[in-house]
Amino acid sequence: MRAAELFRSRFGGTPDGVWLAPGRANLMGEHTDYNDGYVLPFALGQAVTAAAARRAERQLTLCSRQEPAAAVQIALDGLAPGQVTGWAAYPAGVAWALEAAGHPVPGACIAIDSDLPAGAGLSSSAALECATALALTELAQTELAQTELTLTELALPQSAGLTVPRRELAAIARRAENEFVGVPSGIMDQSASLLSQAGHALLLDCRSLETSQVPFAPAAAGASLLLINTRAKHDLSDGEYGQRRAECEEAARRLGIPSLRSLTTPAEVDRLADPVLRRRARHVVTDNQRVLDVVALLSTPHPPPGQHGPVDVYRDIGRLLTESHASLRDDFEISWPEADATVEAALAAGAFGARMMGGGFGGSVLALMPAAGAGQVRQAVTTAFARHAWTEPEFLDAVPSQSARRLTSLV
Ligand code: GLA
């Protein structure tokens, strides 16, 4: 509840509510979301929290424990892309995108706290967007409830002011990031933060936007999942991410298909004469298949003891993780030295498998190992970093957790 404390110290008074939105890890399917493909993320226990209260003025006042500078003031009337920069562009963009979608946004004071390391590829930005989106839509709901007017009298759409469906909130948060902040990301991170269930990974088909919950509890099978923040910071707005996206679109155009999702076998990419585009397309088609393979493994009923059992399932998933890393490193060319060294050290120390995660060029590695071997993997990675004289890596738990929610009742 440090966000509520921050609210009290910066704004005085008590917040109307506190909302939490988790960061995400991604088990499989990288750079597949904007290619209409499959992804398999899950929500983390680490999250952004937002303590918020309505205010009479048409203004947002934002402060963050991680950004010690003065609070940021944003006028809601006339808000447009380009007006707000830095971290506050994410919540401001959500207010803008909500209003653009016809949802009323009240003036509010919002105090933000986070235990998600920024730039670690764990979607702290999407978590900030989703926490703000939930806070603003629920505050709007109480504001409407306090007026004498009904929704019909206000001539608002049925969903306005009432809880906005989460899929729609995910699309709104993504629009904020794409059009207000200017980062051309896909729909995976916001979907993971808003639609995940504890103990499950979220299978999302980014073409139909259909989702299903895939039971995912490595600890129960004697396996351990570790996130390793390599401390090489990534930034999706640095151009490399957008370049990969453009290359994928160009590959689809040359193949005469609506998106790389239409590819079903790696052999089909051989029709591309350009070797770079061929490699990019091969990564996408093979990673899509790996998502389906992981889902099939997780969906296999556990056989009787002594046969191919739960730990073997995680060994197989580990192998797919490592294959995905090779594809991201060699075909998509977005890995970075700290990630390659982490994967190598983890495998040498007995991990089932490991891969870089997220947009690339920095951030975190996801490693899967027998629970009893987790200490050895940490040690091996720490030693590898020391040998290169890199800043010590950070190890984080990766527990498939519940999606975004309100933590306190509305007053
Ligand atoms: C970032 C983007 C996502 C996705 C991943 C790569 O996290 O925000 O939309 O493209 O990179 O899989």
Residue range 232-282, pLDDT digits in tens: 987 777 789 999 999 999 999 999 999 999 999 999 999 999 999 999 999
Distance 92 CA to ligand 1 centre (A): 21
CA dihedral for 115, 118, 122, 126, sign (positive or negative): positive
- Looking at residue 1, its pLDDT comes to 64
Residue range 82-105, pLDDT digits in tens: 999 999 999 999 999 999 999 999
Our separate counts of H helices and E strands in the chain read: 11, 13
Task: Please state the atom number of ligand 1 nearest to the C-alpha of residue 126.
Answer: 8
For ligand 1, is residue 227 a contact (CB within 6 Å)?
A: no
Catalytic: which of 189, 287, 316, 331? 189
Measured CA to CA, the distance from residue 264 to residue 377 in angstroms comes to 36
Element (H, E) at 115: none
Residue type, 171: A
Distance 280 CA to ligand 1 centre (A): 15
Distance 184 CA to ligand 1 centre (A): 9
Phi, psi of 100 (to 5 degrees): -60, -30
Q: Let me know if 408 is exposed, middle or buried by CB neighbors in 10 A (0-12, 13-18, 19+).
A: middle
Distance 410 CA to ligand 1 centre (A): 33
Q: Let me know if 152 is exposed, middle or buried by CB neighbors in 10 A (0-12, 13-18, 19+).
A: exposed
Cα-based distances in Å from 318 to 146, 277, 334? 53, 27, 20
Which of 331, 367, 326 lies closest to 350, judged by CA?
Answer: 367
Best residue for ligand 1 mutational test, from 42, 181, 188 (most atoms within 8 Å of Cβ): 188
For ligand 1, is residue 359 a contact (CB within 6 Å)?
A: yes
- Strand-pair partners of 202: 213
pTM exceeding 0.85:
yes
For ligand 1, is residue 393 a contact (CB within 6 Å)?
A: no
Element (H, E) at 355: strand 353-356
Distance 294 CA to ligand 1 centre (A): 19
Give Cβ neighbours of residue 219 (< 8 Å, ≥ 6 apart).
371, 399
Best residue for ligand 1 mutational test, from 26, 189, 233 (most atoms within 8 Å of Cβ): 189
Measured CA to CA, the distance from residue 128 to residue 4 in angstroms comes to 16
For ligand 1, is residue 35 a contact (CB within 6 Å)?
A: no
For ligand 1, is residue 370 a contact (CB within 6 Å)?
A: no
Which letter, b or e, does each residue of 339-368 get, where b requires 16 or more Cβ atoms within 10 Å of its Cβ?
bbbbbebbbebebbbbbbbbbbbbbbbbbb
Query: Mean pLDDT, 10 residues at a time, over the chain (411 residues)?
Result: 92 96 98 98 98 97 93 97 96 98 97 94 97 97 62 42 85 98 96 98 98 96 96 81 97 98 97 98 98 96 60 94 98 98 98 97 97 97 98 96 91 62
Task: Please state the atom number of ligand 1 nearest to the C-alpha of residue 29.
Answer: 12
Distance 360 CA to ligand 1 centre (A): 9
Residue range 131-159, pLDDT digits in tens: 999 999 999 988 666 654 444 444 444 33
> Residue 189 catalytic?
yes
Best residue for ligand 1 mutational test, from 27, 31, 181, 334 (most atoms within 8 Å of Cβ): 31
Query: Is the distance from CB of 52 to CB of 303 less than 8 angstroms?
Result: no
Structure tokens at 112: 């933000």
Cα-based distances in Å from 58 to 40, 44, 135? 39, 34, 16
Phi, psi of 321 (to 5 degrees): -60, -45
